[in-house]
């Protein structure tokens, strides 16, 4: 999947009449309203700060883009086209729901040079979708994904962990299903319980038990592994920090910690190392771990948690993480040394 720099424009909830139990787009985006007349100003401000060589995409996020009023949708696409024509960006990225994808809509998106469609799949377990009041079933997701790929768009599958009735096993199966759909990328969102949602009411009544930050990281790490093992890049784990997430205002519970993604990656790397160590006799020896330079902090873990855990668990004398630019990302190579 080509790496892009996104310029996000958030459209909170105006494209979605559905009321999923977890959704409060105004809290998620930190925006209480949307004014289409201000989009050019936002884009001009953002483009003034763009540097570097990565291609740029204008990204319409937040609500279900293809569900908004058709005139507004085309107007937003036309605005983005002005910046494409001016050579300031390459294409457009949108996010939407599986049940808001049709051939007619894809014809429009392709005409306005949309390059990437992020599909809010969330789960492929019909029981989880029903409990979350998603308003569509898993077959809708498979149909929409197939159509998106048939039209030649890049497909990003968005999924959630910690939804009502979901299990670690059902989440892993959702990740596998997104792989089978031919996804070019993925996003993983631990469920956050926002105030003014049905999920908040369910939490207070005891009919739903939110994941903690720690269990969110564990569950995210499990599905992260599914994607990385199939060389599917994970764009992000966890919501982007709108004002409400930074302050904690409006958040009742769930996996909203700003470092939940780092925690999930650290657990993934711990699992990789443990898989290797279980087959070796490393007790009383030093361990050298070679990783891509970008993976050093993920391997060590927050505040050295992975390093401390592995030394204690496997009786190591020491553990050193060594950067190796020849390594592929998200892989490890270990060397055991008798040297003190």
**pTM surpassing 0.85?**
yes
Report DSSP state, residue 328: P
pLDDT of residue 241: 56
Query: Tens of pLDDT along 254-292?
Result: 878 889 999 999 999 999 999 999 988 889 999 999 999
- What are the pLDDT digits (tens) for 47-79? 988 876 778 999 998 768 998 889 999 999 999
Cβ atoms within 10 Å, residue 204: 12
Instruction: Please state whether beta strands 5-11 and 234-237 pair in parallel, antiparallel, or not at all (unpaired).
Output: unpaired
pLDDT for the residue 73: 93
Cβ–Cβ < 8 Å for 12, 34: yes
The phi-psi region of residue 24 (left if phi > 0; otherwise alpha if psi is between -120 and 50; otherwise beta) is beta
Strand partners, 318: 286
**Mean pLDDT of the chain, nearest integer:** 90
Between residues 11 and 2, the one the model is more confident about: 11
Structural tokens at position 156: 């990003």
């Amino acid at each position: 999947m080509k790496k892009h720099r996104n310029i996000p424009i958030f459209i909170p909830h105006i494209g979605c009449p559905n009321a999923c139990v977890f959704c409060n787009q105004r809290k998620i985006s930190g925006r209480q309203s949307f004014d289409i007349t201000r989009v050019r100003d936002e884009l001009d401000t953002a483009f003034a700060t763009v540097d570097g060589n990565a291609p740029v995409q204008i990204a319409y996020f937040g609500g279900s883009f293809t569900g908004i009023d058709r005139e507004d949708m085309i107007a937003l696409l036309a605005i983005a086209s002005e910046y494409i024509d001016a050579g300031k960006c390459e294409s457009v990225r949108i996010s939407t729901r599986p049940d808001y994808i049709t051939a007619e809509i894809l014809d429009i998106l392709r005409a306005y040079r949309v390059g990437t469609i992020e599909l809010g799949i969330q789960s492929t377990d019909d029981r989880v979708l029903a409990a979350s009041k998603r308003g569509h079933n898993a077959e809708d997701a498979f149909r929409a994904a197939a159509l998106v790929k048939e039209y030649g768009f890049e497909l990003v599958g968005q999924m959630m962990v910690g939804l009502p009735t979901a299990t670690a096993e059902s989440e892993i199966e959702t990740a596998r299903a997104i792989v089978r759909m031919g996804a070019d990328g993925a996003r993983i969102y631990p469920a956050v319980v926002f105030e003014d949602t049905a999920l908040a009411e369910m939490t207070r009544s005891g009919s739903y038990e939110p994941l903690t930050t720690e269990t969110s990281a564990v569950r995210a790490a499990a599905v992260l592994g599914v994607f990385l093992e199939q060389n599917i890049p994970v764009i992000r784990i966890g919501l982007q920090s709108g004002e409400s997430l930074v302050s904690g205002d409006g958040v009742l519970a769930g996996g909203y910690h700003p470092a939940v993604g780092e925690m999930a990656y650290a657990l993934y790397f711990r699992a990789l190392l443990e898989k290797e160590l279980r087959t070796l006799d490393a007790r009383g020896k030093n361990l050298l771990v070679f990783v891509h330079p970008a993976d050093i902090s993920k391997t060590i873990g927050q505040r050295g948690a992975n390093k401390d855990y592995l030394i204690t668990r496997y009786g190591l004398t020491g553990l050193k993480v060594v950067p190796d630019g020849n390594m592929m990302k998200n892989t490890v190579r270990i060397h055991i040394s008798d040297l003190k």
